[in-house]
Chains A and B, each alone.
Chain A
Amino acid sequence: MAELYTALRQPLIQGGKGFAQVTSDVCAPMERRPTGLWWTAFLISVAALLLGVVTVAYQIRTGIGTWGLNNTVGWAFDITNFVFWIGIGHAGTLISAILFLFRQKWRTSVNRSAEAMTLFAVMCAGIFPVIHMGRPWLAYWIFPYPNFRGPLWINFRSPLAWDAFAISTYFIISLTFWYVGLIPDLATIRDRAKPGLRRSLFAFFSLGWTGSARIWLRYETVYLLLAGLATPLVVSVHTIVSWDFATSVIPGWHTTILPPYFVAGAIFSGMAMVLTLMIIARKVMGLEDYITLRHVDVMSKLVILTSSMVGLAYMTEFFTALYSGNHYEEFTFLNRAFGPMGWAYWIMLSCNVAIPQLLWSRNIRSRVYLVFVISLLINVGMWFERFVIVVTSLHRDYLPSNWTSYSPTVIEVATLVGSFGLFFSCFLLFCRILPVIAIGEVKAVLSYGKPKEEVSA
């Protein structure tokens, strides 16, 4: 049976690589001078980052009034970006933790960069709750810490306080998980580096890795445990983020479907982002043998799955609103689709539900550029999903006298651009400094030197 299987399925890593070949392939980008393409991408990203830094500095100096918010719409780009970035992060955790527990071996080619993406996305996300505050210099007040003001505690009933816990937990666990996964590879680089600063730095971070069987055994146990620890986060973090909305009284926010809806959406958007990045990375860094069409294919299938879940959530939400008999809720959903901001809803619906359906066709899945375009559209669509939830629920709520519109100022747009700048700057640096593919793990799934039936699965 296994024979038949392997005949149909291609090996995970192509090109008939040997172990040494894998090591040198993955380490190559770190050991040569950066290419012109890299420099171009990096400079653009840093420019975007600097733009973000300048606008955020201006906004903190002048006041949050430099955003297009008003008395009715108190959140818009800020929380949209926050939820968007947190969502992006989720695919990384899903790939590295859940797929690890499910023994999905194809994950080995993408998990490292997906985890890096998680970290950078959480960093981007974490900025927004801080800078969206009227007095960001007091942001530390939302953490419970011993103080001389009573002591004055935080409000444990507030979803924003839960957010602070959820996100900091998420960041710490993701960082730990990522770092632990990196240790064997750091040691590889250490061993390849000439004596000097680079070598001592990698030596320091590889924590004296020797690669002995005992160490590998311990290492794999820790990795498994951490995977177990990270798994609930895939569900919990976005559930908690969704409570920011679900626990409120605002129609369009106040709905119990939001937690599963948000988790599905997060994984959906994260998968799309992973696809986007992977497709770029395999081309730019010549990793076609490691990130193969099969990877694209598998991830495309995950995208279809999550897209359908999100689509189901949209339909359920609408149905619930119409069926509830709640005047305000019904109106909010009709207003979302057909009101003055209906365009955002239709962007969301077409990018998130309609277009991903194309991926049912193997023909399209096997065309990387088409998958790339679709993944970009999903990113756009998922950003708009959050925008629709945040803004269209707020802008026309209970009292018609409060109804307003919202349009972002240049400051808000620049801040969003800046967050992309931060994300890509970090990611590009990561590609230069650290191995984008888990060398140790990939070697384990190579067909090299193994009986055939063990290879596929």
Chain B
Amino acid sequence: MSLLNNTRKTESAPRPFALLTSADKTRYWKSLQEFADQEAFQAEAETEFAQTPLQIEADPSRRAFLKASGFTFAGAILTGCSQAPVHKAVPNLAQPEEMVPGRSLYYASTCNGCNASCGLLMKTRDGRPIKLEGNPLHPLSRGGLCAAGQASLLGLYDSHRLHHPLVRGMQATWEDADRAIGSQLETIRREGGPVRFWSTTVTSPAREAVIRRFLAQFKDGQLVEHDPLSSSAILDAHMLTHGARVLPGFHFEKAFVVASFDADFLGTWISPVQFSRAYMEARNPEMQKEAFSFHAQFESRLSLTGCKADSRTVVAPEQLRPWIAQLAALLSKKAGAVLPGPALPPPAHSMDALAEKLWTARGKSLVVCGLQDVHAQVLVNFINHTLGNYGTTLDLAHPSHQHRGSDAALQTLLEEIRSGKIAALFLHGVNPLAQMPRANELSVALKKLPLVVSFAERQDETAGAAHYVCPDHHPLESWSDAEPVSGAVSLSQPAIRPLAGTRPVVESLSTWSGLRVSAYEIVRRHWKEQVFPRQNAEPSFDVFWNKALHDGVAAVTARPAGARPFDSTPVAAALSQPVAGGGEFSLVLYPKVSMLDGRHAYNPWLHELPDPVSKAAWDNYACLSPAAAARLSLKEGDVVRVDAGADGSLDLPVLLQPGQHDNVVAVALGYGRKDSARFAEAGPRWLNWRKPVGENGLVGTNAAPLLRWQDRSLTYTRSAVRLTKTSRTHPLAITQSHHSLTVPKNLAPSSGSTRPIIQEAVLPAYLKDAAAGASHHEVPSQDLWPRDHANDGHRWAMAVDLNACTGCSACVVACQVENNIPVVGKDEMGRRREMHWIRIDRYYSGPPEDVSVAHQPMMCQQCEHAPCETVCPVLATVHSAEGLNQQIYNRCVGTRYCANNCPYKARRFNWFDYPHEDRLANLVLNPDVTVRSRGVMEKCTFCVQRIQEARIEAGNRGAPIADGVIQTACQQSCPTHAIVFGDIHDPGSRVSQLSRQGRAYRVLEEINVRPSVNYLRLVRNRPEKKSEGENHG
């Protein structure tokens, strides 16, 4: 206003050299002219630059003043008329100390991807979680996190989540739902009808306490726990042999000899991250040397665990129990006892050797069994008892709470539901209409019950049949806790304010109990009253709580299972059980590392993750051995009908799976879920776009109808299924079509038919020579060009231990989340245009009936002589001073020459604009990484954003970047620490040490591209073959 009032000459007018005209006595001048003639100079200085609009308006007329003031008032009034787009923008009066915009914060929590309850670090950025990582402080998972766990983050930003409760399928408010449920519960309280709470194993002690308190209000309230991937038989067997229904803690790290009967403990069985880590601890050739564990696997299909086994025996599912019995007999003979029960046929030769190994490693061996067969489990308990493994590798003092479900209890519950006796049924974490056989019958029965309440986050199959759906928070939004193994308690804390109008189960239950307590108070009170007293390291609860919250975990005294000494009476009964069988084919239902029991069926990241064994994505299928497929003249992709008689049939595409029993058809569970209907349009649409879903409009086919009840156990195998070929085909999206490092016979060069891409050695050879298994290729040592690039600083490199890698694919999802890798859909995957920056190559060797499997994580090798760099015409891919091969998206024109010239084919091209329309799902994007557009090349960057972050951090502290500070996303989550990243110029760094090891080799070293990734040879605990050295995998 001052200018308008013609105050041009006054001091307040903005004016150059204001200092000169200030009242100060000291005058400053900049030129003699200025000193001599101040007025003239000033006038000139003011007109030196273009006049501002205000100066033009600076006319002292009344008219101008009114014009301006009128505009000002009108403007002031107008601002009052509109509603500002930000509804609640309350600035932080005091900026929280740790909150810096653009900087990530990590909070410890507990994973809810499955019941294993691994430790979690939630990376949040500007208030939203963008990545889940493993918590290194967690005593079980120790920094690892599986694929499903990491992908569960996307569930938070799932726009299909329920935003409000449903009352008979209609949207309702919480008040309405509470009133209606409350009044019905009141009636039940009065009348005393049975109330059942059906849940997966409740690993959260606080929640369990709330559930039990809630159920205690009723005359007949029961918690029925059931795991869709059940281990019920193990607990039931311990009930028989040890008098306590308990799942022991497994200590693979203490086992020198592991025998597994159909237990996929590295893939999906109970707690794979924990077991993988422990298992690999006993298999580090540098540390263990002779004590390198021996692992024998007996299974009917090729599991991830079978891929790692030193000795793998393919056994029909019905024959597994007789094999266990053989082993039991052999071992009891060694122990000087005779096995009660009938005489057994003479054992196979390999069994003798295994029994010998186990016997030698008494107390340091472990026999596990994944069968849902109590008798088999009783025999396994007997074996472990005979070997003295209880107390060493099997821990009853620290029992596991990860799987406590009881199939028998479930069967009782199902009978109660069918008979309609139940007054109220609560469903949490289970989706029986998709997970149970005879779902139609169950659905009718459920509808007849007076009150069915589901806590489902999404409107799944069962939620559709429930009267009320009271959606639970996403685990990243709520307070909770977990005690996966007795004595190891962990906390779950929210990383974000709830995105929708959901409510934690514990709050719902407490509301219906008449108390309104928040989940936070419930958990905290539970910890104060129940957890805190179980430790005495910390006298103050507040300190204990804060420390537990910070660390995510706390150690407290365990609650032993109260097991009695071993009782061998059930063994005789177990031995005399008849062996089922008959029919040409047996069906084996199995979980995949991505889909598990199907709870992640909404998750595109997991659908897109190729199965590490079959390499197929976006489907389930009928796995058949090549011989079986040939017998039925089936090709890959032909639809076959798996007919189980009265229990129904499934139509599934065939996938040829070497290493599988010739009379077995294996089908993955967890597919064909309602939640996957959303993918009907997935992937970029164009002329030749093919529908990503099957005829049912869903991803895959639900195999749960073929689950089978036997001896009050829900079993995953079934004899006598019939396979009939149909005339239909269903293309599968398989991302690897050549499965061996051996080239086809008719094309084999004279120099040998096997490529040294994966190198491996057997243990005896390795012990003699650490470099055993090396290929004999000459490595070029001379260069045509002088080394004219100074590289004195860091040089980033990676070491990948093929021996430690299980192929679990956690790294693939970790990379996808970290680097904003789009989901391309089934059609694109099938066209071999997957976008994953890191892939798991899987190679078979040996004859199809006795295959050996090796997995190899493959990503950009950041070559020193990168072939991609020289060929790019526009310099879109260049070398950094720190040895990184950088890709500049802005500059890329998309000639794809670099990808063609990459010997590893590690580069990925944006063939289309991949969809990013879901604005909620976009919140998961990592702001440190560019979202790439169509037509540009991309590839692994060694997580350059993390390097950069560490560099800034180190710069701020004025210290060099310490080794191990930078962890790439793939490395961070690797359960077995198979990936190590660091500076190879630092001779003390882990990566340098590993790269100097005897086992280190570089893939395609002989073509002199000088990759920065060192692979460490695979070591198998097998006897030396005569033709050693030819063994390239």
Contact = CB atoms under 8 A, between A and B. Distances in A.
A142 B871 CA distance: 12
A341 to B, nearest CB: 12
A327 interface: yes
Interface string B823-842: 00000100111100001011
B897 A158 contact: yes
B870 A158 contact: yes
A249 B867 contact: yes
A75 B894 CA distance: 11
Nearest to A398: B903
Interface string B892-924: 111111011101110111111100000000000
Interface stretch (B6-14, B141-149, B749-757): B749-757
Given A65-B833, A71-B834, A249 B901 contact: yes
Contact of A74 (B740, B746, B751, B899): B899
A396 B905 CA distance: 11
A410 B1007 CA distance: 37
Interface stretch (B303-311, B469-477, B684-692): B684-692
A70 B911 CA distance: 9
Interface string A130-165: 001111101101100000000011110111110010
Interface string A186-228: 0000000000000000000000000000000000000000000
B900 to A, nearest CB: 4
Interface string A321-351: 0100111101100110011000000000000
Contact of B873 (A161, A400, A402): A161
B223 interface: no
B737 interface: yes
B620 to A, nearest CB: 22
Contacts of B943: none
Given A65-B833, A399-B905, A249 B896 contact: no
B891 A71 contact: no
A398 B867 CA distance: 14
A404 interface: yes
A135 B891 CA distance: 10
B912 A400 contact: no
Contacts of A399: 755, 757, 841, 858, 903-905, 1003-1004
Contacts of B757: 398-400
B738 interface: yes
A344 B909 CA distance: 27
Interface residues of B, number: 67
Residue from A68, A75, A153 having most chain B Cβ neighbours under 10 A:
A75
B913 A248 contact: no
Contacts of A138: 893
Contact of A400 (B738, B913, B935): B738
Interface size class of A (residues with CB under 8 A): 35 or more
Interface in B930-950: 934-937
Contacts of A72: 832, 905
Contacts of B739: 400
Residue from B686, B751, B842, B873 having most chain A Cβ neighbours under 10 A:
B873
Contacts of A154: 873-875
Nearest to B835: A71
B515 interface: no
Contacts of B856: 401
B871 A248 contact: yes
Interface string B121-142: 0000000000000000000000
B747 interface: yes
Contacts of B686: 62-63, 65-66
Contacts of A411: 687
B875 A153 contact: yes
B736 interface: yes
A193 to B, nearest CB: 46
A5 interface: no
B901 A63 contact: no
Contact of B828 (A65, A129, A159, A338): A65
A403 B738 contact: yes
Contacts of A183: none
A385 interface: no
Contacts of B900: 74-75, 248, 250, 394
Contacts of B1007: 249, 328, 398
A427 B858 CA distance: 50
A63 B737 contact: no
Contacts of A63: 684, 686, 910-913, 934-935
B935 A327 contact: no
B1004 A335 contact: no
B893 A335 contact: no
Nearest to A135: B935
A398 B904 contact: yes
A151 B1009 CA distance: 30
Contacts of A71: 832-834, 899, 905, 907-909
Given A157-B870, A331-B747, A334-B749, A135 B901 contact: no
A104 interface: no
Contacts of A409: 687-688
A397 interface: yes
Contacts of A134: 892-896, 909-910, 934-937
A328 B903 CA distance: 11
B688 A410 contact: yes
A58 interface: yes
A405 interface: yes
B841 A139 contact: no
B892 A135 contact: yes
A325 B867 CA distance: 22
B291 interface: no
A66 B937 CA distance: 16
Contacts of B335: none
Given A142-B874, A338-B746, A249 B831 contact: no
A247 interface: yes
Contact of A327 (B755, B828, B909): B755
Given A63-B935, A71-B908, A394-B900, A135 B893 contact: yes
B503 to A, nearest CB: 44
B464 to A, nearest CB: 37
A92 B213 CA distance: 93
B545 interface: no
A141 B874 contact: yes
B891 A158 contact: no
Interface in A405-434: 405, 409-411
B905 to A, nearest CB: 4
A141 to B, nearest CB: 5
B747 A401 contact: no
A249 B780 CA distance: 14
Interface string B663-703: 00000000000000000000010111000000000000000
Contacts of A401: 736, 738, 839, 841-843, 856, 858
B909 to A, nearest CB: 7
A70 B831 contact: yes
A64 interface: yes
30 contacts: A63-B684, A63-B910, A63-B912, A63-B934, A70-B831, A132-B896, A134-B909, A135-B893, A141-B893, A142-B874, A154-B874, A155-B874, A155-B875, A160-B872, A160-B897, A161-B873, A164-B873, A244-B897, A247-B871, A334-B746, A334-B747, A394-B900, A399-B755, A400-B738, A400-B843, A401-B738, A401-B843, A401-B856, A403-B737, A403-B738
Given A134-B934, A248-B901, A327-B749, 5 more contacts: A62-B684, A133-B894, A134-B893, A136-B893, A331-B748
Interface of A: 58, 62-66, 68-72, 74-75, 129, 132-136, 138-139, 141-142, 152-155, 157-161, 164, 244, 247-250, 322, 325-328, 330-331, 334-335, 338-339, 394, 396-405, 409-411
Interface of B: 684, 686-688, 736-741, 743-744, 746-752, 755, 757, 828, 831-834, 839, 841-843, 856, 858, 867, 870-875, 891-897, 899-901, 903-905, 907-913, 934-937, 1003-1004, 1007, 1009
